[in-house]
Amino acid sequence: MGIEIERKFLVTGDGWREQAATQTRFSQGYLSREPARTVRVRIAGDQGFLTIKGATRGATRAEFEYPVPLADAQALLAMSDGPVVEKIRHLCTHEGMTWEVDEFLGANAGLVVAEIELESESQAFARPAWAGAEVTGDARYVNANLAVSPFSSWSE
């Protein structure tokens, strides 16, 4: 079984840009946004993926991801439940670990979030200066929720 252990942080400033090695544009939509399971279709660059994620417990959840033909991903994206989430993912290395910095576009423009995947919830890691407040447990920052309650609609 695939397991994802992920911690998520708001990004402060632009210091992360100096560490960014690659960037890929993502378009993703949801075929199911149930709390017990989400089914996501994603186009990352010119590749398609179908991902099923289980309920989150702490920072851990089941995750199964499968490549699909780009044409299939485009058709599935058109069937998604709610608006498509658009973002640019930058891969940054900090003290030997890879951080994914997502710079959101469209209705979520202005939101920049960093994620780090871990081997265990207790794994130690060096937090870069640009990783601000932790939002791992805040449902507003879950991509499936950003599709229907975008960052631009939040009140201060």
Residue from 56, 65, 63 nearest 121 by CA: 56
Cα separation, 85 vs 56, in Å, equals: 20
Residue from 59, 76, 58 nearest 67 by CA: 76
**Would you give the distance in Å from CA 55 to the centre of its chain?**
15
Across the strands, what pairs with 20? Answer: 92
Does 66 participate in catalysis according to the annotation?
Answer: no
**Catalytic entry in 26, 30, 104, 130:** 30
**Would you give the distance in Å from CA 44 to the centre of its chain?**
12
Cα–Cα separations (whole angstroms), residue 148 to 21, 43, 100, 107, 141:
31, 19, 22, 10, 11
Residues taking part in catalysis: 30
